[in-house]
Amino acid sequence: MATPLPSSNSLPPARKRGLALRWSTWLVAAAIIGYGVAIAMHWDDRGLLWLQERFESQSEQQASIWLPDYQVDIDAKVLPGMEDDEASDLSYNPVSKTLFAVMGKNPFLVELTLDGDVLRKMPLVGWSNPEGVAVLEGGRLAIVDERDHKMTIVTLAADTKSLNIADFPQYDLGPSNNQNKAFEAVAWDPLQQRIILGEERPPALFTWKSDGHSPLTGDKQPLPSDELDLRNLSALGVDPRTGHLLVLSADSNMLLELDEKGEQVSFMTLLGGFNGLKKRIPRAEGVAMDEHGTLYIVSEPDLFYRFKKP
């Protein structure tokens, strides 16, 4: 017969005090660790925004993108033949009704259908680490190279097979606070006629005035970034209907909506079980939105997602 374990009442007082102290220490340590993780992941800020969302009126929701309403309808579709290239950004072309993505590891520009099918794959000759792409006007695209701290404005035709950086104007983006986590994101804002640039870490925003056609003049200007409560900035997108900014963070598993004043409006968590996702988006690196409000995301190394409102 097994010997029964002594009950807590049968323990000596000194041992009782020792066990109580040990449990107290563990609980305090767990609380400290939990608080640290919450701060690092900005769960406190997301909690405040979640509470704020509960008080938004129906008209205010309709005047914004309102990310909580989106549901995935293409979930983790594999982009064929790109598992070794690492999808780094995404942009929508309203003229061709297609998407353009850059691959950072092996420099390529890829044109996709809105269903995530590959139309063409164009080598980017001379680029070191293309991390951002934005469709401008008149067949022009802005491509940001994080390693070289440069933005190149290329002109693309329907029959373009490859692009050589030496054939196009380049613009120096200057130094970053963290040279290894520099300019990674770019988006075109047609309503305010400007290019928006984003630094990865610490997250920061800049603008460069442009009509989308002419060569750039002047220099980039800082944009208030106080609302970027994110661990990193992976990509930027602009809603062509409202002009609101989409800010993607792979490290925070988060997509954030900012209004024209740079204030937080809504957010979407990129974890499994939310917004219809079966699993967490592994590393979200690109985001785009079309004129109908359909949302597109690419993840390293080769995954494609599409979200729509019901």
Q: Residue 37 pLDDT more than 80?
A: no
In angstroms, the CA 53 to CA 98 distance is 32
* Full-model pTM: 0.83
CA 14 to chain centre: 55
The residues that bridge with 269 in the sheet, in sequence order, are: 254
In angstroms, the CA 255 to CA 220 distance is 24
Q: Which residues, at least 6 apart from 71, have a Cβ–Cβ distance to it below 8 Å?
A: 275, 276, 307, 308, 309, 310
- Per-residue CA distances from 272 to 72, 122, 218, 269, 279 (Å): 11, 33, 44, 9, 4
pLDDT of 10 reads: 60
Which band of pLDDT confidence, cut at 50, 70 and 90, is reported for residue 94? very high
Question: Which has more confidence, 136 or 50?
Answer: 136
Percent of the chain with pLDDT over 70: 80
Summarize the confidence of residues 95-103 as an average pLDDT: 97
Summarize the confidence of residues 4-16 as an average pLDDT: 58
In this predicted model, what pLDDT tens digit does every residue of 184-225 receive, in sequence order? 999 999 999 999 999 998 999 999 999 999 999 999 999 988
| Superfamily (CATH) of domain 57-308 | TolB, C-terminal domain (2.120.10.30)
Q: Residue 175 pLDDT more than 90?
A: no
CA 57 to chain centre: 27
In angstroms, the CA 307 to CA 310 distance is 9
Which band of pLDDT confidence, cut at 50, 70 and 90, is reported for residue 49? low
Name the most confidently modeled range: 27-36, 132-141, 254-263: 132-141
Q: Residue 34 pLDDT more than 60?
A: no
Question: Which has more confidence, 27 or 234?
Answer: 234
Which band of pLDDT confidence, cut at 50, 70 and 90, is reported for residue 277? very high
Question: Which has more confidence, 21 or 68?
Answer: 68
- Range in 51-55, 58-62, 105-109, 298-302 the model is least confident about: 51-55
Q: Would you kindly state where each structural domain of the chain is located, as residue ranges?
A: 18-55, 57-308
Phi and psi, residue 172, nearest 5°: -75, 125
Which band of pLDDT confidence, cut at 50, 70 and 90, is reported for residue 56? low
Averaged pLDDT of the chain: 86
pLDDT of 30 reads: 47
- Pair 92, 289: CB distance under 8 Å: yes
